[in-house]
Amino acid sequence: MDYHSIHGYDLSSFDVPGTHRLPTVQASQALNDLQDSTNLYISTGLEGLDKALLSRFATESQNALHRGGVKRGQVTELWGPPGTGRTAIAIQLASNSIRNADNVVWIDCFQELQISRLEDALRTCGSSAVNEAENDEQASNSRGKFIHFSCLTLPHLMALISRPNAKAIPERVALVVISNLSALINSSLPKAVEETTTLKPNKGQSASIKRRQCLQFIINALQRLAATRNCAVVVVSQCATKLQSEHGATLVPAVNASAWNQGISTRLVMFRDWAWQDGNLVSVFLAGLQKVDGKPDDDAMAHVAAFRIDSTGVTSVECNTTSVPAEPAIAIQHKRKVDETDLEVPDSEDDEDYGWAEEDESTLPQPPQWQGSEDILLGQELGRSDDEREDDCESVRSILSEASH
């Protein structure tokens, strides 16, 4: 008599499927899989970006089959402001996977995906030699390989990615897209300011500790899912504005904890800028490569690919992107003193200093809330990382403990 004959099978996807272990792979098979990249990468639809996403081993190899793209078995993050082509790149990845007879799982965490966009991409990606009716039939047949979920609560998402069953995430899945995961995390576990005026040792875990544990659990589950199913996990994240008194405002990922950054193997930033095309200044979509195979680039962006978005999907654009700045050039100039301007103030002496320079050079107080550049403002202090907040809380606690003694 076994366990299932007594208790039955769990219908809520909480049954133990044995995914806590990585599958056993022989060394010769692993080497052959590395050399044969026909199923190792998923194309983004941009040839220049696909080549930049190739690993160092694939770049040094002489195999002509290395086409590049998003690598399977890893977690890739696409982040950027709204309207920069994040969803378009994810749809292109899903369309290319479905065309290769692979399964795709799409998980919406905030806004529901428009299936018509995927259908248009599948319809136009067919061969030009077939007619429109055959293209429609091909798109409808490929629709069965696309699995769509809406996880509007954090426990629902954690249960889905940590204990996936065969119906939710099939065995032959090649791509798992999680859209707007940062909105779900920041709404469920916001970066709220903790009350440090009174010390309560028996209060329990603080909000920052709960948030860090949740992020660690989610990123570990995503890494395990990518490794056990040999699929590419693509996380579409939002961004926030981080304000600094000396460096101005900077766009950062909405989730930028150290544990989260360590689990992300490849990171792409999406933005829009002006570029020269045929002597004219046009607005283009840009994708910058910040991290490949767990190795961040020394510069802000190693490669920038320009593209446009239409009904057929994403298409590369030939334009000059060398003028795109890797980091914003910010020149902060303090106000000059009165004696440096060669101006004479009536009823004043040259040697007197009214203290204007000291007041101007003093740093401005931080705003009460970090203003985010997301689709929706969720939580507080979205621009600050969890490590910075914990350091500030620890310093406040030490000051309060010294004052009490």
Relative orientation angle of helices 207-229 and 181-188, to the nearest 10 degrees = 150
Residue-level pLDDT at 227:
92
Q: Give the separation between CA 186 and CA 189, rounded to whole angstroms.
A: 5
At residue 179, what are phi and psi to the nearest 5 degrees?
A: -95, 130
Residue-level pLDDT at 130:
36
Q: What's the one-letter identity of residue 405?
A: H
CATH match for 3-316 among 3.50.50.60, 3.40.50.300, 3.30.465.10, 3.10.20.740 = 3.40.50.300
Is the CB of residue 241 less than 8 Å from the CB of residue 259? no
Residue-level pLDDT at 241:
87
Relative orientation angle of helices 386-404 and 207-229, to the nearest 10 degrees = 150
Q: Give the separation between CA 204 and CA 188, rounded to whole angstroms.
A: 18
Residue-level pLDDT at 374:
44
| pLDDT (tens place) for every residue of the chain, 405 residues total | 566 677 666 555 554 455 455 567 677 776 666 656 567 899 999 999 999 998 655 555 545 556 789 999 999 999 999 999 999 999 999 999 998 889 999 999 988 898 888 888 888 765 333 344 445 555 455 455 899 999 999 999 999 999 888 888 888 899 999 999 999 999 998 876 655 545 556 667 788 889 999 999 999 999 999 999 999 999 999 998 888 777 788 888 999 889 999 999 999 999 998 877 777 888 899 999 999 988 887 667 778 899 999 888 899 988 765 555 555 444 445 455 545 555 555 555 544 444 545 544 454 444 444 444 444 444 445 555 666 666 666 665 666 666 665
Using DSSP, state whether 105 is helix, strand or coil: strand
Q: Give the separation between CA 212 and CA 255, rounded to whole angstroms.
A: 11
pTM: 0.71
Is the CB of residue 246 less than 8 Å from the CB of residue 265? no
Q: Which residues of 200-226 are buried (b: 16+ CB within 10 A; e: fewer)?
A: eeeeeeeebeebbeebeebbebbbbbb
Q: Which residues of 161-186 are buried (b: 16+ CB within 10 A; e: fewer)?
A: bbbbbeebbbeebbbbbbbbbbbbbb
